[in-house]
Structure 1
Amino acid sequence: MIDNIFIQISVLLGITVSVAFLMRVLRQPLLIAYLLAGIIAGPMFLNLLQSGGQTFDALAEFGIVLLLFVVGLSLNLQHIKSIGKVAVITGLTQVTFTTTVGFLLLLAMKFPFSSAIYLAIALTFSSTIIIVKLLAEKKDTESVYGRYTIGLMVVQDLVAIFIMMVVTSVGTGDGLWLEIGTLVGKIFILFGFVILTARYIIPKLLDSVARSDEFLFIFTITWCFGIASLLYWLGFSLEIGAIIAGLTLGSSPYQSEIASRVKPLRDFFIIIFFIILGSEMSLANISNIWAIGLILSIFILIGNPFILYSVFRFLKFTRRNSFLSGVTAAQVSEFGFVLLIVGRNSGHIMGNELEIFTIVALITIITSSYIITYNGQVFDFLHPFFKLFGPDKHKQKEDTQEKYDVFVFGYHRIGWKVCEALAEKEIKYAVVDYNPEAITRLKSRGIAAFFGDVRDIEFLETLPLSNTKMVISTIPDHDDQITLFSYVRKINKKTILIGNLYHNTYLDDLYEAGANYVMMTHLLGGEWIADVIKGKSWTEKTFLDLRKHQKQEMQLRFTSGINSLK
């Protein structure tokens, strides 16, 4: 057994990376690798974690807090508004169906009442992380089925937050009505806290903090743990505190940038969290629970698609969109693990529920990942069966993501003049900038603007760059431009890429990354003054006129370039 915690973590990460390589070859989510690494490192095989139990438990707790913080941060209520009642109806129907049938199924298998209700609820939720990632890889997030499936995930997250509040507020003893009254009071307090903080405190803080990406990161981490600790001190659970901390930042215009900064840290602790979960599998119990896990897995893989397909068809969706939405949600969620751990820590359950759920997670996530990846082919294979029920009477038009002919990265200094020229030519364009004040002013003038860091690939993936005709970068940093150009070249070989450098040290690097042309500001400045010398008289009035024109141009920087094309 290894006693040094640093060596233990190093060995664990080595095992995880080795398993992750295999999962990548098999096109599986890395969550599977984390669970399998935990099983290998646990008592079933290598038994590496026994001496560092408290340390690993603390790291796992960090993982839970950061996971739930990002859940709250990513809770997009505007998405529900945009797709109307469909997401609410499908979400609540699926949650009710899976919980009820799952509960009855578990009771039939002789589970105690509390274990049955906890496991049934844990089985209800689908994995938002896995679904969004796989939909993004397939470029299906803006398809009809993709948008409504993501809406379904938002509804599930809202239900999950409510259930988490109930679980952490209701005890095992008497005084049920008192506990319910306390719960209702807590809900109102938290709701008021979120509204007041998000509306009056966060905007003023973030306008100053967002100027620096490092400051934004440390502020976000401090806010997450600070709010979670404050609410814990006031009598709430750490889990609820983490969700509320995320909710208060979720309505900020810097939400995507905050999420991209926190996710790498969250992912590290989540790796430890799932390794710990996998390590709790023991050889003594596996023979008693594998059949139960298999039955529950079949229920999720068949039951969720069935109920969602039925509800979507009732709401007049096409067979194809109904089928694709149904099979996309056919797996269990990382939230189920959190719920079962909270239930165990609260004394509500004390059996092998976590081990059973781990088996269900492995089976459903592995199976559904392949089904989501090849869902179109699966539907085509089953299409003759669907045709037995006659022609499809329902039709839907696929919505297309907003497209821009030109993207301008960086509005300050050079970009504003480029935007002015694009507006004069009536070319539809959008601006990407890391200055929050610039984004606010641009949006107030009707110019499409995105706040984010070009170094963040996840942020670039959210931009509609695949069909843009030209990308103009006025960013001075060469590394940022190499990242940008390499990404755009990967998704579109024909886009014209124009870069910008202050010196020629990295000129060849930008061309190798895919740039069609790189502006050299000192050369452009030299050409301009050369034209002045050759074409204008050398008088004091000439340069006085140039100074006046320069001053007028500087005043126009935030008052011109309004995109007339909506």
Structure 2
Amino acid sequence: MQGILTQITALLGVTVGAALIAKFLRQPIIVAYIFAGIVAGPLFLNLVHGEREIFHIFSQLGVILLLFMIGLSLNFNYLRRIGKVAVAGGLAQVIFTGVIGMGILRAMGFAFMPALYLAVAITFSSTIIITKLLSDKKDTDSLYGRHTVGLMLVQDLVAVLLMVFLTAQGGSMTISSSLIRLALGGLVFIVGVTLLARYILPPILRRIADSKEFLFLFAIAWCFALAYAASRFGFSIEIGAVAAGLALGSSTYQPEISARITPLRDFFLIIFFVILGAEMSLAAASTVFLPSVILSLFILIGNPLILYVVYRLMKFSRRNSLMIGLTAAQVSEFGFVLLFIGRELGYVGESEIASFTMVALATIFVSSYLITHNGKIAGAVQNFLAKFSEENHPQREEKPPVYDAWVIGYHRIGWNIVQVLKEKKRSFAVIDFDPTVIEHLTKEGVPAYFLDVSDVGLLSELPLDRARLVISTIPDIQDQVTLLKHVRLHSAHTVIVANAPEAKFMRTLYEAGADYVMTPHLLGGKWIGHMISDGKASRAAFRKLKKEQQEEIRSGMPVQEL
């Protein structure tokens, strides 16, 4: 135990130092992680030793959680729309990149079988690198981001089929029987996940959603259970993690689950990228330098051009086609697995593995910049690309809805405000942390978001700053201060009404940015005072008000708060 703690402490110390330098130089943080791994690896400090298996488990956990969150951000309806495009684009890219890569390797003098394995290894882009950087840029939900993720999922499926083919070659099972077994397993897995997502998960989530800890624990357990199940059915754990996220992606509780898992994912992902850098083997680098440079240039320039042409033929805009191509300009960690299998079968030598290692290091390093700045690059070269093709297929991003008003908290005062907004036909949405409220409002057709307003990360996902009016009815003062400061940071014009259960909190809320603070007991006292001053405090008047109140209860007023 002492040894692993020492190694983790030293590893994190090197990583923090590299990250500080990268931040100071305004470089992609992922590059800092990889270089921290190189420094911590056997080439320099050799910090990762003795407990290598534990580090590999940590890094694998990060990959699973990352792809689980990618699945959370997608939804079945969108996947149905991009499915055909993803399959066509993925297969075309694998075929063209593999064939051209094979030609380049043969021209450089590689033997047929080593060239074949290396050509196939460079066709796959890194799902982990891409999804991590898209997530950091908040581009996962963009049009090009979703299609890139779809492309990666198709590549993962092709990789699974290749694994079946190769293991069948090296084992006793025939290729046809392996494929049949995989198809049957896939069918059972897909049907099982679909039935669970539709009939079992919703009632479970409704029962546990009021507990943040229980919701977090269930989501983690579900993620790893499906990753394990996928591996048992012959698929990769990555595909299982994405499927687990997809099953919860259409849930009302998706934002809260995502926010709880993000810090855990980030820690394990840091370990993954550091270990990736530590395992970069450059022992035979001098002998394969030229082939590695040529292959790296092909991946960084040729692969984006191939994808650009493929997606232009599928009627994508120049900008989106180019951004998809730039995002996929690196090789995948699967390439190492493929080459290791080839080495075991006697087709691949150490020189091919060393060459691929150099290509991986170069393309991951450069593509980190390409992905980070792909918007600027696409904008800079669009005029040049316009000389070769007209923009006949402009595409618009699917933007999240913008509401005129937001009501924070449905109970207490909120329900009445919602009724007025509905009567006035105003565009509005409700935020609440009660799953029964979300279910009720969803049935009523009211846009409702299940999230905790104390989480700034969740608030930043919503366009609160673009609303004219934000009304908070929740009783917690600190949560309201967080909300007020967040909205005020992004908008000075939004009108914000806060709620103080006691008059002593009014000053705190005004200082945080509220335009008006309502106090229910003071408002109630004023209302009764007006009734008396207007001469309406009679038994008949109160009998009429009582009748109206009873009608409001029958119409859906949350009586548990009365």
The TM-score bracket by the shorter chain reads 0.7 to 0.9
Give the partner amino acid of 1:371. H
Superposed CA offset, 1:190-235 (max 9, x none): 1222122112211221121222221100111222234444565677
1:117-128 alignment, distance < 5 Å: 119-123=121-125, 127-128=130-131
CA distance in 2, matches of 1:518, 1:249: 37
- Structure 1: runs of 5 or more not aligned: 560-566
- Normalised by the size of structure 1, how large is the TM-score? 0.83
Structure 1 residues 49 and 88: alpha-carbon distance in aligned structure 2, compared to 1, 3 A threshold: closer
Superposed CA offset, 1:92-125 (max 9, x none): 4334333443454455553726742552243375
Give the partner amino acid of 1:494. H
Answering whether residue 364 of structure 2 is matched by residue 362 of structure 1, we say: yes
Find the counterpart in structure 1 of residue 133 from structure 2. 130
Structure 1 residues 357 and 431: alpha-carbon distance in aligned structure 2, compared to 1, 3 A threshold: farther
Find the counterpart in structure 1 of residue 432 from structure 2. 433
Q: The residue matched to 1:303 in structure 2 has which SS?
A: helix
Q: The residue matched to 1:498 in structure 2 has which SS?
A: strand
Report deviation, 1:253: 3.4
CA contact (8 A) 2:307 2:321 kept: yes
1:81-96 alignment, distance < 5 Å: 81-82=80-81, 85-96=84-95
Give the partner amino acid of 2:220. I
1:248-287 alignment, distance < 5 Å: 248-282=247-281, 284-287=283-286
- Structure 2: runs of 5 or more not aligned: none
Q: The residue matched to 1:151 in structure 2 has which SS?
A: helix
Structure 1 residues 293 and 87: alpha-carbon distance in aligned structure 2, compared to 1, 3 A threshold: same
Answering whether residue 32 of structure 2 is matched by residue 33 of structure 1, we say: yes
1:177-192 alignment, distance < 5 Å: 177-192=176-191
Which of these residues, 146, 156, 161, is aligned with residue 152 of structure 2? 156
Structure 1 residues 468 and 105: alpha-carbon distance in aligned structure 2, compared to 1, 3 A threshold: farther
Structure 1 residues 151 and 545: alpha-carbon distance in aligned structure 2, compared to 1, 3 A threshold: same
Find the counterpart in structure 2 of residue 375 from structure 1. 377
Answering whether residue 519 of structure 2 is matched by residue 520 of structure 1, we say: yes
CA contact (8 A) 1:75 1:154 kept: no
CA contact (8 A) 1:95 1:156 kept: no
Superposed CA offset, 1:334-387 (max 9, x none): xx22664587589678853673354134333333045325235423xx62x345
Give the partner amino acid of 1:133. D
Structure 1 residues 119 and 395: alpha-carbon distance in aligned structure 2, compared to 1, 3 A threshold: closer
CA distance in 2, matches of 1:274, 1:493: 40
Q: Quick check: 469-478 or 291-300, which moved more?
A: 291-300
Structure 1 residues 507 and 53: alpha-carbon distance in aligned structure 2, compared to 1, 3 A threshold: farther
Structure 1 residues 168 and 20: alpha-carbon distance in aligned structure 2, compared to 1, 3 A threshold: farther
1:305-344 alignment, distance < 5 Å: 305-327=304-326, 329-332=327-330, 336-337=332-333, 340=336, 344=340
Structure 1 residues 431 and 27: alpha-carbon distance in aligned structure 2, compared to 1, 3 A threshold: farther
Report deviation, 1:551: 3.2
CA contact (8 A) 1:44 1:281 kept: no
CA distance in 1, matches of 2:443, 2:256: 20
Q: The residue matched to 2:308 in structure 1 has which SS?
A: helix
CA contact (8 A) 1:165 1:240 kept: no
CA distance in 2, matches of 1:219, 1:258: 9
CA contact (8 A) 1:294 1:359 kept: no
Q: Quick check: 395-404 or 9-18, which moved more?
A: 395-404
CA contact (8 A) 2:59 2:271 kept: yes
Answering whether residue 421 of structure 2 is matched by residue 422 of structure 1, we say: yes
Superposed CA offset, 1:436-463 (max 9, x none): 3322322222222233333444433432
Find the counterpart in structure 2 of residue 450 from structure 1. 449
CA contact (8 A) 1:292 1:356 kept: no
Structure 1 residues 274 and 322: alpha-carbon distance in aligned structure 2, compared to 1, 3 A threshold: closer
Report deviation, 1:389: 4.5
CA contact (8 A) 1:228 1:240 kept: yes
Q: The residue matched to 1:4 in structure 2 has which SS?
A: helix
Q: Quick check: 352-361 or 491-500, which moved more?
A: 352-361
CA contact (8 A) 1:41 1:47 kept: yes
Give the partner amino acid of 1:356. M
1:492-531 alignment, distance < 5 Å: 492-503=491-502, 507-531=506-530
Which of these residues, 160, 167, 192, is aligned with residue 163 of structure 2? 167
Q: Quick check: 317-326 or 338-347, which moved more?
A: 338-347
| Alignment: residue pair count | 544
CA distance in 2, matches of 1:285, 1:194: 46
CA distance in 1, matches of 2:152, 2:269: 20
CA contact (8 A) 2:404 2:426 kept: yes
